[in-house]
Amino acid sequence: ADVRGKTAFVTGGANGIGLGIVQALVKAGANVVIADIRQSALDEAKAALNADAQVETVQLDVTDRAAFAAAADRAEARFGKIHMLIGNAGIGVMGPVLDARYDDWDWGMGVNLGGVINGLVTILPRIKAHGEGGQIVTTSSQSALIPISYSAIYTAAKAAVMGISEAIRGELAVENIGVSAFMPGPVQSNISQSGELRPQHLRNDSGYAQREADLEKRPNSPLWMSAEEVGERVLAGIQRNDLYILTHPEFGPGMQKRFDAIMASVPSEPVNEARAKEIFFLLDN
Ligand code: NAI
């Protein structure tokens, strides 16, 4: 759908991919509320965008449900209605599963999955209420489609986020709300600095402190896609209401291999017709 004159609420929009999406939306004529935990990055993004008539910023930790509602109130006070939710805020949390402690799981799942859930619970009813329709975009990851080693927590959250978008797409179509699951490959961003965002109360029972310190020193590769290019791809996906938004053809063979393995595991036994009918009924509803 056309985004001109519509309002998008973009979490994690002050840096990296989120900011790339914000730039594309602003250029296409949308109003954008940038919600991010980093106030300084919000200020810098607002100044760089130089489009104050279309841009509002609000400091928000997406794991804080009361603050999320307050941020949505502010968005509506400024622009009247929210049409699009871009659930993009996320952190990098990587390491061996054998080192993962509860604080690591809670932080990773809390931001990368919980943040998306909080966005849906807060904003979906508001989109439905105004009746003008809209769009949900959830930032998952290519790693949801090709899970790799040392990414158990990240993959758990991102696979869940992709699954949510797939599951709600049909339900929301009848409300004229489109849904896109966004699975980017490597993109230049600030994600290596995630560790500084880990809250104090989730630092005691962690096995990943050294990993986070190491990640901070990892530079962006020049081969990674720019956030601006990715933002344009997401905008195009919104305009077409694509269910899946992908960025890198290089992952195609790996995805094929994974799905071939899944298909090879389908039991090669005769189909029970009655059972098949029941399953088709469930899938259609
Ligand atoms: P980034 O660090 O540049 O941007 C993430 C933004 O989210 C930052 O502005 C950060 O302040 C904000 N944020 C983090 N925790 C937050 C919280 N609790 N509440 C509110 N805002 C919070 O990183 P990037 O790479 O742009 O990440 C954006 C999304 O893309 C994430 O969900 C990430 O998992 C995903 N992704 C990134 C890939 C990449 O290669 N950069 C690849 C696949 C997925």
Residue 208 catalytic? Answer: no
Supply the pLDDT for residue 18.
98
Q: What is the CATH number of the domain that holds 152?
A: 3.40.50.720
Structural domain span for residue 196: 7-250
Supply the pLDDT for residue 282.
79
Q: Is 58 in the pocket of ligand 1 (CB under 6 A)?
A: no
Supply the pLDDT for residue 281.
81
Tokens of 116: 């998306």
Give the distance (Å) from ligand 1 centre to CA of residue 70.
21
The set of residues, in sequence order, having a beta carbon less than 8 Å from that of 204 and lying 6+ positions away, is 103
Q: How far apart are CA 96 and CA 104, in angstroms?
A: 11
Q: Is residue 199 part of a domain?
A: yes
Q: Is residue 39 part of a domain?
A: yes
Q: How far apart are CA 22 and CA 26, in angstroms?
A: 6
Cβ atoms of 39 and 59 closer than 8 Å: yes
Listed in sequence order, the DSSP H helices in 114-248 are 114-130, 152-173, 209-216, 227-240
**Residue ranges of the chain with per-residue pLDDT less than 70:** 285
Q: Is residue 219 part of a domain?
A: yes
Q: Is 109 in the pocket of ligand 1 (CB under 6 A)?
A: no
Structurally, how many domains does the chain consist of? 1
Q: Is residue 175 part of a domain?
A: yes
Q: Is 190 in the pocket of ligand 1 (CB under 6 A)?
A: yes
Q: Is residue 208 part of a domain?
A: yes
ipTM: 0.99
Q: Is residue 69 part of a domain?
A: yes
